[in-house]
Chain A
């Protein structure tokens, strides 16, 4: 079995097929950006992109991700190692506190902005409603997504 994660191919022993994708990438590949917080598809801390769609992978089995393009937070930075404009916007807007929800939040916003680069704040709220954050009250996260939208409009 092959997984394509952050444009890199991984050979996965078939015995891992029934493992949850979160556990596999965290435990076996050390891609720990996706977090375990509810493990029941209810909080978004494990959200990654599968073929550009946001998926909470705590309820996805490894075998079901076969052949799909997986993007985790570890693949978000620009090829030159600088922060992606969306990540930079999170930093600049003060959208980060404890940082536990941040990877899922960034990836969810990324998928959303790729589809809707000119969102209203209300649309941003709707797009992020599946991602829980207990620290920020979402205000500065929404600021960040709004700030970054300009980049998505231009690119």
Chain B
């Protein structure tokens, strides 16, 4: 077995045998589909389902009237309408679901559902929506401002007076789609014992269970979310799939039959939440010797029609609003705002890709104005060991590896030599540029959420081992990472270990598999469960070997004392003979974090990770086309559990960041999304990506029991600024807006 690239699901996936939700069938299964309306913002007068109900093969048409439990739910504000009530809030609102014998018959009937509504003016611009007197999206909320976060540090106003240079810029970023290859699919099976089983690819089974139980008006224990493989998530398989599951479960409950709801790509893009588009006003004050003295920033995030996790996303933007730089005077105001646009929520990076684009652009603008080389400028200002962050947190409980990753990147990419080539034509019409960006990132949820996770190790009588954690396999290889950590920490062969198919009816609520927290939290819980397990095994082994407990160890699949040794399975067999279960429950509670909402000060995260990326590219002078030549990334990954999967997170994150920088945009007209499939929503293809080089800088994190840091998101948040800086270095064209498209007609002089 090649340990370096081991995955427990590789065989199942490479043979196509793995069963995603859409591949699952039950006897007598019905098919449900969502029904949308043409409206963006409207007052519903009537939903007429009578014709649809009579249509061939239709078993039931379900609307809000059929909801036995709570129709409004959400992780923060309970404003999601699982079924539309008296209003349409955005074009993805579902007014009904049609349940029929086949999907085709359901589709046929769905055409017959008629929605009579009075059109209301749409609120589509978040800055307009924030103004007092604006029409309200949710009247009961009293304002369109979903949330506000602040940082109040020092006195920027005073500090600006003493600055030699003040820069004020506006940036904006676009709405983007996760584009997981697997659209939302839920299969719900009502069991004779009254429990409804839910099969769906998702990142947050426990939240999905809450959505579902609430809609059905049943206890949590009556819903079992069974883990199935996820065909890509990237933060996107949380609220929307939870809602799809809840609706499907209701259909199963009301019909008494298994029901599948399988989304088309068009429905998925229309309804599912997106990455927040940001408007950022950024003012930076500097001294002539290159010290950032003050930052004042206003950040406006379009939250769309429902809250989702907008307060958490924008909190990270707030905490990280100055990038990995020490700034003594900071005033930050961040707003999440309701509009009638598509809902926005969690997506890989979670409020950081927007801000890193802003900050790493500002850094280069400032350094050029001050005539200080940008790397030297970064080194003057960046966080170092024991630095104080803008939220007043001292970085003293882990290795601050900012300079390490920067230096690694400079060397690996040969940055300084290549920088000299910038603006030269390396091929006919192709001008060259190299660009760099760096960041730090708070690990896991931070003060935005309750952060703990469970693991269960159940050693069988023959010495084989079942492992389960509360972290969910999203495709990133979390189950494999947990197995590898268990084998390493317990000192046994990987072949002994099977990851138990997870279920919310077995493992305690461990939160969501987001925030790059999978390996940190699940690995942490696994390590702590190993500690418990060892206590149990050693207590038995010490009596069998007649030795003190502290003499015992497990390695190479054997249990050792000073003088004696026994195979692992022999000890386990002996334990069962003595009526001792080698079974352990482990918990990892993230170290304490603090936050003061008024001052925006506190220990925001229990640790940080550090990253730097470099991009080489050319810009075609005639066409404006950007071609990436090479990309490099160095991140402090902490102790790596599975090297090739860690590399996969690097490359995948960089590709997604490339799409964000150059290609992707969810385009809407009057609140209706036009880019509903992959013909118009363009994600990076193999030919869009350059060769990528990844460097793992491994400083085991003392705050993470397995030593791991999270890496899925850091790799995603730096490509846009690195590309922006490379384009600037190639052409002199500075972008303040994503995606970056060079309009040769307008910008010809820049390129000539």
User: Do A and B associate with each other?
Assistant: yes
- Interface of A toward B, CB cutoff 8 Å: 26, 30, 32-40, 42-43, 45, 72-74, 76-77, 83, 87, 90-94, 96-103, 106, 121, 124-126, 128-142
Q: Which residue from chain B places its CB closest to the CB of A138 in the assembled complex?
A: B686
B10 near A96 with CB under 8 A, answer yes
A98 near B265 with CB under 8 A, answer no
Question: Which chain B residues numbered 677 to 697 have a C-beta less than 8 Å away from chain A?
Answer: 677-679, 683-687, 689, 691-692
Set of chain A residues within 8 Å of B678, measured between Cβ atoms:
38, 40, 42-43, 132
Set of chain A residues within 8 Å of B476, measured between Cβ atoms:
97, 135
State the CA gap A93–B648 with chains docked (Å): 10
Q: Which residue from chain B places its CB closest to the CB of A42 in the assembled complex?
A: B678
B181 near A45 with CB under 8 A, answer yes
The CB with the most chain A CB atoms within 10 A, among B11, B16, B653, B654, is that of: B16
The interface stretch among B230-238, B352-360, B614-622 is: B230-238
B687 near A126 with CB under 8 A, answer yes
Set of chain A residues within 8 Å of B155, measured between Cβ atoms:
none
Q: Is B656's beta carbon under 8 Å from chain A?
A: yes
B181 near A98 with CB under 8 A, answer yes
B229 near A137 with CB under 8 A, answer no
A-B contact pairs, 18 of them (CB 8 A): A38-B678, A39-B264, A43-B678, A73-B15, A77-B15, A91-B5, A93-B5, A94-B5, A94-B645, A99-B229, A102-B16, A128-B685, A129-B686, A134-B232, A134-B655, A138-B685, A140-B644, A141-B686
State the CA gap A45–B265 with chains docked (Å): 12
State the CA gap A142–B19 with chains docked (Å): 25
- Interface of B toward A, CB cutoff 8 Å: 2, 4-5, 7, 9-20, 22-23, 25, 178-183, 229-234, 262, 264-265, 474-477, 644-645, 647-648, 650-656, 677-679, 683-687, 689, 691-692
The one of B16, B181, B477, B644 that contacts A33, using a Cβ cutoff of 8 Å: B16
Set of chain A residues within 8 Å of B20, measured between Cβ atoms:
32, 35, 100
State the CA gap A34–B20 with chains docked (Å): 11
A102 near B13 with CB under 8 A, answer yes
Q: Which residue from chain B places its CB closest to the CB of A139 in the assembled complex?
A: B651
The one of B25, B183, B231, B647 that contacts A94, using a Cβ cutoff of 8 Å: B647
A38 near B265 with CB under 8 A, answer yes
The one of A34, A39, A99, A125 that contacts B265, using a Cβ cutoff of 8 Å: A39
B475 near A98 with CB under 8 A, answer yes
* A contact face: mostly helix, strand, loop, or mixed: loop
B679 near A42 with CB under 8 A, answer yes
State the CA gap A98–B231 with chains docked (Å): 5
A92 near B686 with CB under 8 A, answer no
State the CA gap A95–B2 with chains docked (Å): 14
A106 near B474 with CB under 8 A, answer no
B22 near A36 with CB under 8 A, answer yes
A32 near B16 with CB under 8 A, answer yes
Q: Which residue from chain A places its CB closest to the CB of B179 in the assembled complex?
A: A134
B475 near A128 with CB under 8 A, answer no
A32 near B23 with CB under 8 A, answer yes
State the CA gap A96–B656 with chains docked (Å): 16
Set of chain A residues within 8 Å of B14, measured between Cβ atoms:
83, 87, 90-91, 96, 99, 102, 106
State the CA gap A94–B475 with chains docked (Å): 12
The one of B15, B679, B691 that contacts A139, using a Cβ cutoff of 8 Å: B691
A91 near B7 with CB under 8 A, answer yes
State the CA gap A39–B686 with chains docked (Å): 20
The one of B180, B234, B651 that contacts A138, using a Cβ cutoff of 8 Å: B651
A37 near B644 with CB under 8 A, answer no
Q: Which residue from chain B places its CB closest to the CB of A74 in the assembled complex?
A: B16
Shortest Cβ gap from A6 to chain B (Å): 11
State the CA gap A100–B232 with chains docked (Å): 8
State the CA gap A39–B181 with chains docked (Å): 12
Q: Which residue from chain A places its CB closest to the CB of B185 in the assembled complex?
A: A36
* 5 additional contacts (CB under 8 A) given A35-B22, A96-B14: A76-B16, A83-B11, A96-B10, A134-B178, A134-B652
Q: Which residue from chain B places its CB closest to the CB of A133 in the assembled complex?
A: B181
